[in-house]
Amino acid sequence: MHRLLTHFSSVMLGLLFAAPAFAEVRVLTSIKPLQLIAAAVQDGVGKPGVLLPPGASPHHFTLRPSDIRNVREADLLYWIGPDLETFLPRVLEGRRAMTLAVQDISGLHLRRFGEEHRHDEEPADEHEEEHTDVHDEGTEAGEHDELHRPGALDAHLWLDPDNARKIASRMASDLSSIDPANAARYQANLAAFDQRLAAMDEKIEDRLKPLAGKPFFVFHEAFDYFEEAFGLRHAGVFAVSADVQPGARKVADMRKRLELAGASCVFSEPPIPPRLAQTLSEGLPVRLAELDPLGYDVKVDALGYERLLEALGSNLAGCLERL
């Protein structure tokens, strides 16, 4: 009996000390696109969390007490940087665990607002005639414009698949360091992610390449990374805030721009109500569709990031192909 108890105690003691090695690493991301990339890397090992709920804007979000607690308790926290999540810097000051603004990852392709796409070869003055932005005059929209002022960092960097590869690589490295028991799985997941992105790149490019030059308009300058990656360029931006209804003068300016463009696509973006796009396009040869850079309806799993980009490509092509 004594031997049996001693053996039982030894087994329980071993399990007690072994338990931390099997504890899931708590990964927290600021926005859903980063959560989708992390989910690909953690597939089969853990599930990353996210701060922003569906429909929330990273520009104007306010953290709840439960969010602050999650920030403090996470083992790894990934965010884009202060140009996007303006609500995070003060909260992060008290964190001791690993925190990374992914915009600081070495080798990332970073754009600044007002830059021409690298694949564009036309003179800048020709672009100025073709590319028109119409900005709102409200307070919220004014703050939004300040974040998108010429020369400011375009923080929508996750829409470049090459950037996503580099972010995933860094996540796999961080996770392997904290959780060496699962390092092989993280690296295998990373390799699988790279292979899937290569196939996705080719698929999206094949569909969008013939559509280059067809005019389309967006309500938010969020898609330049995606456009540059796949050879497109929007004809104009209607800088509209979801919280401010544009005035009659602004609506008239936007309609005039659409009249000049002729047959074109206008892409609204959640949570901006599509009824504004409907008002703008009434009586014009304009087709309406939606682009969601944050993937609010995308399922969080290993394939989520590809679904996000495939949805953008499919929605763009689906509208432009009908012009």
Q: Quick: pLDDT tens for 191-214.
A: 999 999 999 999 999 999 999 999
Answer yes or no: is 183 within a domain: yes
Residue 274's pLDDT band (cuts 50, 70, 90): confident
Instruction: Examine residue 5 and state whether it is found in any structural domain, yes or no.
Output: no
- In a shared domain, residues 131 and 241: yes
Q: Are residues 177 and 28 in the same domain?
A: yes
10 located within any domain: no
Number of domains in the chain: 2
Give the pLDDT confidence score for residue 159 in this predicted structure: 99
Name the residue range of residue 262's domain. 111-154+207-320
Residues 42 and 179 in one domain: yes
User: Is residue 316 one of the residues assigned to a domain?
Assistant: yes
Residue 221 lies in a domain: yes
pLDDT at 228: 98
Mark whether 29 and 150 lie in a shared domain.
no
* Same domain, yes or no: 166 and 309: no
DSSP state letter for 156: -
Burial class (CB in 10 A: 0-12, 13-18, 19+), 111: middle
Residue 73 has pLDDT above 90, yes or no: yes
**Beta strands 111-112; 153-154: pairing state:** antiparallel
Any idea what the CATH number is for the domain that residue 66 is in?
Answer: 3.40.50.1980
Tell me, yes or no, whether 168 and 135 share the same domain. no
Q: Is the dihedral of CA 238, 242, 246, 252 positive or negative?
A: positive
Same domain, 171 and 222: no
Looking at 173, 198, 223, the residue that finishes a domain is 198
CA distance 280 to 258: 8
Same domain, 117 and 264: yes
Q: Is residue 237 part of a domain?
A: yes
pLDDT at 245: 66
311 and 269 within one domain: yes
Question: Based on the domain organization, do 59 and 129 belong to the same domain?
Answer: no
What is the Cα Rg of the chain in Å?
Answer: 23
SS3 content of the chain, % helix, strand, coil (to 5): 50, 10, 40
Query: What's the pLDDT score for residue 134?
Result: 55
How does residue 56 score in pLDDT terms, banded at 50, 70 and 90?
A: confident
Residue 14 inside a domain? The answer is no
Residue 225's CB is within 10 A of a number of other CB atoms, namely 24
Q: Same domain, yes or no, for 150 and 184? A: no
Mean pLDDT of the chain: 86
Instruction: Flag whether 8 is in a domain.
Output: no
How far is it, in rounded angstroms, from Cα 52 to Cα 57?
A: 8
Confidence of residue 147 (pLDDT cuts 50, 70, 90): low
The domain boundary residue, chosen from 143, 174, 198 = 198
Q: Is the dihedral of CA 96, 20, 43, 171 positive or negative?
A: positive
Together in a domain, 95 and 218: no
